[in-house]
Each structure stands twice: as C-alpha cells, then as structure tokens.
Amino acid sequence: MLTLYAAKFFNAKKIVMTDLLESKRELAKRLGADSVFDAASPSLSDDVRNDFGQSVDVVFDCVAIQQTVTQAIKMADKSGTVVIVGVPTKDVSIPLPIIQDHQIRIQGSATYLPVDYQDSIKIIGQSSFKANEFVTAVFPKEQAQKAFDTAIAGGQIKVLIRFS
C-alpha cells in the first residue's frame, strides 16, 4: 500500500493493484488505485494489460514469490520494467525467454538509502498520507502473542501492540 502512495505522489498516470484478499483490494481502491484485481485470477496478467490498454510500463512486485514475479513479468510491456519491492524468502525462477524477447528490465529495490528516507518524509509531509489507514488491528500488550499470531496469519496490513 505504501508503494501505491509513492506512485500517486510521483504522479503515476494509472495505478492498478492486485491482491488475494478482498479487504486489501478495497483499501487500495480507497487509497486511490484506479483499478483492483484479484491476484488469484488465472487471467490476471491479461486482465491488467487490458485495463491498461496493453501498455504496462512499470510493474512493482511487493510480494516477491514465484507466482507474483511471473505475473509481473507477464504484465510488463515490451521494454518495460519490473521492480521487486517485496523481500523474497527463497529463490524464484525468471522466465528468460520473455525477458529477452520483450526486453524487460528487472530492478531490485530496498529502502535503505538516504534518498529513500528523504522521499518518505516528503511524501508524508506533502500529501494526504493517512497512516491510520494502514493499521488494521490493535492489541493491548497483554495480548502480544495474539498480535504476532494475527500478523503472521496474514490478512492484515499493520498490526500494532498498545503499551499504554
């Protein structure tokens, strides 16, 4: 969802979000995504390309598992770019024939450079950024284990533990 905010802040022409969970797709729509799609759809890549009018210049993969990397590469236009934002937990296969034939660039991304922090501060300070939209569950400190279990189970954006 933060990638959505950054894309909007830097004036992306059109933003399409995909997710397995309806609740996250609804949040993406509220946060300004132009279109949302179910990531489990077998025709996802074609659906997204059709929504864009066949031209997807940049695809951000915020999950970085085999399924999403493959989908992102299939969505990207000829000479497009796939940015891997998610943190992979294991190696994934890259379909080299598509990469070579479509001249697709693969770019890794991590938020550890000073300019990343500067951009983040700028986005928070100069936009309608609403951090509370990302908090989907709050637990008292006495239920810390339940908070961790909830976060690990998925389905949430951010889970907080309240200490006061």
| Cα four-point dihedral sign 39, 59, 105, 63 | negative
Which helix H or strand E contains 105, and what residues bound it?
Answer: strand 105-108
Mean pLDDT calculated for residue range 155-163: 92
**With pLDDT > 70 as the criterion, what percentage of the chain qualifies?**
99
| 65 and 41 Cβ atoms separated by less than 8 Å | no
- Reported as a pLDDT band with limits 50, 70 and 90, residue 116 is confident
Structural domain including 117 reads 2-127
Residues 121 and 42 in one domain: yes
Query: What pLDDT was estimated at residue 10?
Result: 87
57 and 49 in contact (C-beta within 8 Å)?
no
pTM of the model: 0.81
Q: Clarify whether residues 29 and 84 are in a common domain.
A: yes
Do 33 and 103 sit in the same domain of this protein? yes
Give the count of beta carbons closer than 10 Å to the beta carbon of residue 89: 8
6 and 45 share one domain: yes
When pLDDT is cut at 50, 70 and 90, the band that residue 129 belongs to is confident
